Amino acid sequence: MRFIFKTDYAQDLQLFKHGGQTFWYGALAVALVFVPWLLSPYFVSQLTFVLIYSIVALGLMLLSGFTGQISLGHAAFLAVGAYTESVLAAKGWPFPFSMAAAALTAGIVGVIVGTPALRVKGIYLAIATMAFNIIVEEVLARWESMTGGNAGLQVGPLAMFGWTAQDEREMYYIALVITAIVTLGVVNLLRSPTGRAFVAIRDSEISAASMGISLAFCKSTSFVLSAAITGIAGALYAHRLRIVTPDQFTVLQSIEMLMMVVLGGLGSIHGAFFGAAFVIILPQLIAVAKDYLPPAIGQATGLQPALFGLILVGFILFEPLGLYGRWVKTRTFFQLFPFYRRGMFRRQKVFMKSERLR
Amino acid sequence: MNPMLAVEGLSMVFGGLRAVSDVSFTVRKGEVYTLIGPNGAGKTTIFNAISRIYPPSDGRIFFEREDLAHRGQHEIARLGIARTFQNIELFEHATVLENLLIGRHVHRGTRLWQELVFSPAVRRQELAFREAVEKVIDFLDLAHYRDTRVAGLPYGVRKVVELARALAVEPKLLLLDEPSSGLNVEETDDMAFWIHDIRSDLGITVLMVEHNMTLVSRVSDRVLALNHGEVIAEGTPAEVQNHPGVIEAYLGPAVEA
């Protein structure tokens, strides 16, 4: 059991709260830098995918996990980012500029969608964003002069200032650097007033407003940042797949993204990464498992969505805090060994909500 | 005396229900002013009109001579009015410290891009916020709970945390909606001392809604009694308690023996 003895306010602001954390995050960083030299190109490319999805999950986590606004349209922002990148890369823009443009375009679309959509809450917001996703899908399929219609656009390798990403490994490093920057940005935001305002809105809109937080402005900020981060992921996504077509950005994709943050654990940065890794790794595991299962089950169509659904239901019932919650519990178990008790993380019920102002 | 808050002819109508009709009062700088009345008298509705959760149907509210009619809900705190809620509206999944830091939001002077890179200005501001918040933590004896999540705290402590969050705003006027509801005798006693200290040590004007008459008479300078949304009496706690209209409102009309 570790007790952090605070003697200085600056300690509250540290990224790593104690030596143990510094050590383990350092070890993780070293491992992430060296891992492409140990794995086959196939696994490296899967790892790149995990990183790209992590960026998406971070963006959506900011909106859904921290600000409490559901979006079922984030695949559309990924699309806006990916198509912007594809078009600009074809025109020869260096990657840093085209990626910034992708983030900006997604952000602007975020303003246009978010301003009216955020006037509604909960399920209505989900439906509004879903409708937006469908509209974007249609636009991508029909605006043939720009998007190439249903055939999509071919995307060249990631290139900047005369340098071109040659193989999976280089692509991985670019994704790693960008993931690190985005993560740092989100963490910074969350330890500043704006990030706290997001959490305040999630927990109680009425008292957030009476503490001087502008609901409309903060929700829009969160929406736009979330869209821009997803746009950045879109830029990487385009180069990773080398082709963009409208059917990569359907509402189903949006649902998968939301599932990623719910499974990972709403309201935690770790959760974004866990969720992304899970969503990428599970289909692989299922593919491997297929060979060992009896053919009646293994070859059944719809095995993967069914399993996904089952796992999602299981998590919501037994572990609402997601993979991150499981991780915290496991860690506490070992930290306190042998004193861990089953009820330690049970949420105390509050029976005072009957007269809440809405 | 210097009027801090002036409510003039305030009426609130919800559908066919007149929750508040034509209520006027002024709160002077540096006093503790209490609204009392039976359930449904319209006390909390007046609070919600001041914090602009609903716009008033009629009448005007002035804070330091400024009409609040054109202010948004989130601008009220910036003017210097902080409040607590009857049923506690804390940020459940945040720690006590984070809750209080949200109280400092009105003093935010940094921009979004600075926060994204956590610039030195943001760092300085965060340190200053913590210092300010620590004073409140000290004042209300919350040091023990500083890094605890609100979701696990007992009711009495949450009530104090909510008061602390309102104080972290550094308001000129503090609106307390039933500060003693749900508290035991000892906690109510503490609350009385704190309200007294908030007025005398911190110099904050207090407007509160309260049912506990012992607490009301201990801390308030003036009391306004309401029934069915109308004013029935105003004056010192003793005057109002002995007012025939107030007795009738609470106990029913006198029966001829």
Question: Tell me: the pLDDT tens digits for A247-289?
Answer: 888 888 898 898 889 888 888 888 899 999 988 888 888 878 7
User: What's the CA gap between A5 and A9, in Å, rounded?
Assistant: 11
Rounded percentage of chain B residues whose pLDDT exceeds 70: 99
The pLDDT value recorded for residue B250 is: 80
Residue B88 pLDDT level (bands cut at 50, 70, 90): confident
Residue A356 pLDDT level (bands cut at 50, 70, 90): very low
- Mean of the pLDDT values across residues B95-118? 87
The pLDDT value recorded for residue B119 is: 86
User: What's the CA gap between A194 and B115, in Å, rounded?
Assistant: 8
Q: Is the pLDDT of residue A36 over 90?
A: no
B53 closest CB neighbour out of A185, A188, A357: A357
Angle formed by the axes of helices A251-264 and A303-318, nearest 10°: 40
pLDDT, greater one: B69 or A51: A51
Q: Is the pLDDT of residue A212 over 80?
A: yes
User: What's the CA gap between A98 and A157, in Å, rounded?
Assistant: 13
The pLDDT value recorded for residue A355 is: 43
Q: In what order do the strands lie in the sheet with B58-63?
A: B17-28, B3-14, B58-63, B66-67
Residue A357 pLDDT level (bands cut at 50, 70, 90): very low
Residues 139-178 in B contacting A (C-alpha not used; CB under 8 Å): 151-152, 155, 165, 169
User: What's the CA gap between B85 and B158, in Å, rounded?
Assistant: 11
A213 closest CB neighbour out of B101, B105, B130: B105
The two structure tokens encoding residue A55 = 């960026």
The pLDDT value recorded for residue A28 is: 87
Chain B residues near residue A212 by CB distance under 8 angstroms? 74-78, 105-106, 169
Give residue limits of the domains in chain A. 40-323
- Mean of the pLDDT values across residues B136-160? 88
pLDDT, greater one: A100 or A321: A100
Render pLDDT for A222-244 as a digit per residue (tens, 0 to 9). Answer: 999 999 999 999 999 998 888 88
- Mean of the pLDDT values across residues A136-145? 86
> Are A242 and A124 spatial neighbours (Cβ–Cβ below 8 Å)?
no
> Are A236 and A172 spatial neighbours (Cβ–Cβ below 8 Å)?
no
The pLDDT value recorded for residue A351 is: 47
User: What's the CA gap between A318 and A329, in Å, rounded?
Assistant: 13
User: What's the CA gap between A247 and B90, in Å, rounded?
Assistant: 43
CB contact under 8 A, A357 and B101: no
CB contact under 8 A, A9 and B73: no
- Mean of the pLDDT values across residues B195-210? 91
The DSSP line for A169-188 is: HHHHHHHHHHHHHHHHHHHH
User: What's the CA gap between A298 and A304, in Å, rounded?
Assistant: 10
Within 13 Å, how many C-alpha atoms sit on residue A303's CB side?
19
User: What's the CA gap between A61 and A267, in Å, rounded?
Assistant: 7
* N residues, chain B: 257
Average pLDDT of chain A, as a whole number: 84
- Mean of the pLDDT values across residues A305-324? 82
Chain B nearest C-alpha distance from A328 (Å): 15
Least confident of A44-48, A78-82, A335-339, B201-205: A335-339
CB contact under 8 A, A212 and B91: no
Most confident range, picked from A156-165, A346-355, B21-30: B21-30
Which of A244, A239, A271 shows the shortest CA–CA distance to A258? A271
Rounded percentage of chain A residues whose pLDDT exceeds 70: 94
Render pLDDT for A289-313 as a digit per residue (tens, 0 to 9). Answer: 777 877 777 777 777 778 878 888 8
- Mean of the pLDDT values across residues B150-159? 86
Q: Is the pLDDT of residue A181 over 90?
A: yes
The pLDDT value recorded for residue A1 is: 53
Rounded percentage of chain B residues whose pLDDT exceeds 90: 19
Angle formed by the axes of helices A41-60 and A269-290, nearest 10°: 140
Taken in order A193, A194, A199, A200, the sign of the CA dihedral is positive
Collapsed DSSP state (helix, strand, coil) of residue B207: strand
For strands A243-244 and A153-154, give the pairing. Answer: antiparallel
CB contact under 8 A, B73 and A210: yes
Q: Which CATH class is domain A40-323?
A: mainly alpha
> Are A59 and A223 spatial neighbours (Cβ–Cβ below 8 Å)?
no
Task: Find the Cα–Cα–Cα–Cα dihedral A215, A216, A217, A221, rounded to 10°.
Answer: 100
User: What's the CA gap between B125 and B134, in Å, rounded?
Assistant: 14
Q: Is the pLDDT of residue A5 over 80?
A: no
Render pLDDT for A115-134 as a digit per residue (tens, 0 to 9). Answer: 887 788 878 888 889 999 99
Residue B241 pLDDT level (bands cut at 50, 70, 90): confident
The pLDDT value recorded for residue A352 is: 46
Residue A346 pLDDT level (bands cut at 50, 70, 90): low
CB proximity B77 to A under 8 Å: yes
The ipTM estimated for the assembled molecules is 0.86
Q: Is the pLDDT of residue A354 over 50?
A: no
pLDDT, greater one: A72 or B256: A72
The pLDDT value recorded for residue A285 is: 83
End-to-end CA distance of chain A: 41
Q: How many A/B residue pairs have CB atoms within 8 Å?
A: 128
Least confident of A189-203, A302-316, B15-29: A302-316
CB proximity A306 to B under 8 Å: no
Q: Is the pLDDT of residue A358 over 70?
A: no
The pLDDT value recorded for residue A295 is: 76
Residue A345 pLDDT level (bands cut at 50, 70, 90): low
Q: Is the pLDDT of residue A77 over 90?
A: yes
Which of B68, B33, B35, B34 shows the shortest CA–CA distance to B52? B68
Which of B152, B156, B144 shows the shortest CA–CA distance to B191? B156
> Are A153 and A244 spatial neighbours (Cβ–Cβ below 8 Å)?
yes
Beta-carbon contacts of A171 under 8 Å, excluding residues fewer than 6 positions away, are: A45, A48, A158, A165, A239, A240
Q: In what order do the strands lie in the sheet with B230-235?
A: B81-83, B173-177, B205-209, B32-36, B222-227, B230-235
> Are A78 and A237 spatial neighbours (Cβ–Cβ below 8 Å)?
yes
> Are A184 and A196 spatial neighbours (Cβ–Cβ below 8 Å)?
no
The pLDDT value recorded for residue B173 is: 92
Collapsed DSSP state (helix, strand, coil) of residue B53: coil
pTM of the entire predicted model: 0.87
The DSSP line for A276-291 is: HHHHHHHHHHHHHHHT
In a mutational test of the B interface, the residue from A12, A204, A211 whose CB has the highest number of chain B CBs within 10 Å is A211
Q: Which chain A residue is nearest to residue B45, measuring alpha carbons?
A: A357
CB contact under 8 A, B118 and A204: no
